[in-house]
Structure 1
Amino acid sequence: MIERTTAMCRWLAYSGSPVLLSDLLFAPENSLVVQSMHSRLGVEAVNGDGFGVGWYGAQEEPGIYHSTEPAWSDRNLRELSSHASAGRVFAHIRATTGTPVQQSNCHPFRHGRWLWMHNGAIAEFASVKRDLTLEVEPALFPLIEGSTDSELFFFLALTYGLEQDPPAAVARAVGFIEETGRRHGIQFPIQMTVATTDGEVTWAFRYSSEGRSRSLFHNVDVSALRMQHPDNPTLQQLSDDARLVVSEPLGSLQGAWREVPESTCLVIEGGREQLHPFSPSSAPSSAGSAAAAQ
């Protein structure tokens, strides 16, 4: 029997009017910091192998803060988040699949204006790592800093054109990962919920080779929630275009969350969201493959 590695990270992606990071990370009933100690929907209850936050502010590139400490015990995170605000935020708490606990292995990963974070795993990563790595565009390869399957997944997507067409690039990356895994006798090569953004649009994906993907939710329209819950002060502070995509709901407010369907790409631009079917596609021969063949 082939052993498959499982990972259970948790993440959130926010866009809308600027909010304090602490309002996202600490304030909610089931905040990401709470989930780092006790995840309600995760395979593992504790996600204490580091964390990261990415946000868009005054600079062209997003800022990132990574720490190898558990989110619940990092004093710098509490200090930073109580002063910094942003209108687009990615945050991630990590449960490692076996790669080291180090800052370069913490999500979100950054390339130019792009951020990327992943919950799940590439199965039997050690067996397929060489084949996957050789597919990365040679010009991108030196920019890989860590040793995780998630970062390599990001660079495969960049190789396949993430900056031009994110859904197509992710579909090609997943297709190549599945093709490679099955060539190595792996029945279910990938498990994933992924979020990526260029600072203007957020794309979120829910997919797994076995069709039993990790949990993923998005909030319903804020104006509708205000009508439903007129006495909720948090809702009164959010802009109508505020959108959250989360591994698990941040609270128990009735009617606030919808589950993202299996095999789906969720696109959020401004206050609009669209759901599209997602499936892997065949990857074209990349510059990485051509270089490896020479």
Structure 2
Amino acid sequence: MCRWLVYAGSAIRPEELLYKVDHSLIDQSMHSKLGATTLNGDGFGMGWYDGPRPPGLFRGIGPAWGDRNLRELSEHLESPLFFAHIRASTGSPVQESNCHPFRYRDWLWMHNGEIHGFHQIKRELVLAIEPELFPHLEGSTDSELMFYLALSYGLRDDPIAGVARMVGHVERVAAAHDIRDPMQMTIATSDGEHVWVFRYSTQHQSRSLFYSRRIEALRELYPDNANFRRLSEQTRIIVSEPLGDLPGAWHEVPESACGLVDPGRDFLQDFHPEPV
């Protein structure tokens, strides 16, 4: 499977989370503790917002730990909102178009998990993508297909409902083909202003997902940590597995849950697929 993180808050250099913490995303690419695989070396990607324009995107097919351009880029750009992903393929080719995050206009999307039995139902799922969206589908992964299905089912108007309908459609098609427990996912998506995250699997044994405690609470727990002093109170980090070993710094996203990261109105709620 994969590992990913989302950062939203005070503008920082991505290197702070990709390289400089004890169990950084780069460290997780070699030594994942909670993932389905220890190594995540089948490509990587980073997407970032830096103003009123579509997000930037940088992806590569090699292991993240050895890419000099990723290190260079993460040392020099600053962003208040970025996605980063390290990939462990579940069978689709290692190619740039299959690396996360995926981008459509102002939207970014990344995923950890799989659609079980994907190749048996891929054709039927693809045919549910809206015709105007279909030309933008570049790769061969179930993850990107899920993105365009969610867009087709209303992601841009109501992200939670769009993802719920996407999952409902996948589960309905899988059931028609006698495929059990088809959906396994942790997902992050953003329009550049808000971030939505999802943790769900059909069998209710989803991959790990965590979010950081509020900065004011972290300042009380770790008063000598200079990083917490310079971040705004609205700063949030969502990760496949915790960065570093700071007891009390992370909450686990509940099973079958979704949430919104948005200044002043963060929330978590139950997530349920919606039949279509």
Checking the alignment, whether the CA contact within 8 Å between 1:241 and 1:272 is kept in structure 2 is: no
For 2:178, the equivalent position in structure 1 comes to 185
Paired residue for 1:130, among 108, 123, 129?
Answer: 123
Per-residue deviation, residues 55-102 of structure 1 (Å, max 9, x unmatched): 001451000000001000000001111001100000100000111101
Paired residue type of 1:275: L
Counterpart Cα distance in 1 of 2:264 and 2:39: 33
Paired residue for 1:20, among 9, 13, 16?
Answer: 13
Which region of structure 1 is more displaced relative to structure 2, 265-274 or 135-144? 265-274
Per-residue deviation, residues 171-218 of structure 1 (Å, max 9, x unmatched): 000000001111111110110000000011100000000000000000
Counterpart Cα distance in 2 of 1:168 and 1:58: 27
Spell out the pairing of 1:73-112 with structure 2 (5 A cutoff).
73-112=66-105
Per-residue deviation, residues 118-175 of structure 1 (Å, max 9, x unmatched): 0000011110100000000011001101000000000000000100000000000000
Paired residue type of 1:160: Y
Alignment identity in percent? 55
For 2:227, the equivalent position in structure 1 comes to 234
Paired residue for 2:238, among 240, 245, 250?
Answer: 245
3-state SS of 1:82 partner: helix
User: Does residue 56 of the first structure (1) align with residue 69 of the second (2)?
Assistant: no
Counterpart Cα distance in 1 of 2:190 and 2:268: 16
3-state SS of 2:266 partner: strand
1:271: Cα distance to partner? 5.1
For 1:45, the equivalent position in structure 2 comes to 38
Over 3 Å off, 4+ runs: none
Paired residue for 2:216, among 203, 207, 223?
Answer: 223
Which region of structure 1 is more displaced relative to structure 2, 112-121 or 56-65? 56-65
For 1:147, the equivalent position in structure 2 comes to 140
Counterpart Cα distance in 2 of 1:83 and 1:142: 33
Counterpart Cα distance in 2 of 1:237 and 1:167: 32
1:272: Cα distance to partner? 4.0
Counterpart Cα distance in 2 of 1:71 and 1:59: 28
For 1:114, the equivalent position in structure 2 comes to 107
Counterpart Cα distance in 2 of 1:90 and 1:22: 12
For 2:259, the equivalent position in structure 1 comes to 266
Give the TM-score normalised by the residue count of structure 2.
Answer: 0.99
Counterpart Cα distance in 1 of 2:261 and 2:157: 16
Give the TM-score normalised by the residue count of structure 1.
Answer: 0.93
Paired residue type of 2:132: A
1:266: Cα distance to partner? 1.2
Per-residue deviation, residues 25-50 of structure 1 (Å, max 9, x unmatched): 11111111000001010110000000
Paired residue type of 1:28: V
For 1:212, the equivalent position in structure 2 comes to 205
In structure 2, stretches of 5+ residues that fail to align are none
Checking the alignment, whether the CA contact within 8 Å between 1:243 and 1:271 is kept in structure 2 is: no
Spell out the pairing of 1:27-42 with structure 2 (5 A cutoff).
27-42=20-35
For 2:271, the equivalent position in structure 1 comes to 278
Paired residue type of 1:108: P
Counterpart Cα distance in 2 of 1:64 and 1:271: 28
In structure 1, stretches of 5+ residues that fail to align are 1-7, 284-294
User: Does residue 170 of the first structure (1) align with residue 172 of the second (2)?
Assistant: no
Aligned length: 276
3-state SS of 1:91 partner: strand
Spell out the pairing of 1:66-77 with structure 2 (5 A cutoff).
66-77=59-70
